[in-house]
Amino acid sequence: MPGPHTHEMKRPTRISARDAIIALAFIAGLIGVAILLARRSSNEIDARRIYEDLPFDAAQADLAFQARVAAAFPLQASEDALVRGLSSEGFREASPRRMVFRRWVTRSSLTCGFDASVAWEADNSGHVTALKAHYLRALGCVEKE
């Protein structure tokens, strides 16, 4: 019989292979979610539409839109990825290698049009080689009050 100062050694509990796989899958899932959330928070394009919250000044809005498009779709990206990305933003094909987004907003008695356009060139292997983006809105129009 062990005395008051004697410690019994406990055997480590064995984890079944099935339980270990379930635990690893759960941990991998948590890591995947964390990576996805980190990517989303660091990518401005995911955080808001590519054409929203642009500066009030028309020239600055156009430059900001151009910068967002260039960041989201760098040269040498695949043309298919560009088309899929713009489509997910609400852009529609206007002509071959040109997509547009148009939105009309009515506030009080003023109806405002907002137009975003992206045109590109691609090489024979389907990689974007040139990209032109423009954002226009009617004078005096703002997206939010």
Q: Do 83 and 99 form a contact (C-beta atoms < 8 A)? A: yes
| Residue carrying the six token digits 């642009």 | 54
How large is the average pLDDT for residues 109-113? 76
27, 30, 35, 38 alpha-carbon torsion, rounded to 10°:
-140
Q: What is the reported pLDDT for 47?
A: 35
Residue 40: its pLDDT value, please?
37
Residue 126 pLDDT greater than 60, yes or no: yes
Mean pLDDT throughout 85-95? 91
Q: Quick one: what percent of the chain has pLDDT higher than 70?
A: 69
- For 46: left if phi > 0, alpha if psi spans -120 to 50, otherwise beta; the answer is alpha
> What's the rounded mean pLDDT across residues 83-108?
88
> Torsion angle of alpha carbons 80, 87, 136, 95, nearest 10°?
60
* Three-state DSSP state, 26: helix
pLDDT above 70: residue 105? yes
Q: Which of 31-35, 95-99, 123-127 has the lowest mean pLDDT?
A: 31-35
Pairwise CA distance, residues 44 & 64, whole Å = 12
The band of 31, judged by pLDDT with boundaries at 50, 70 and 90, is low
Handedness of CA 99, 77, 131, 89 (dihedral sign): positive
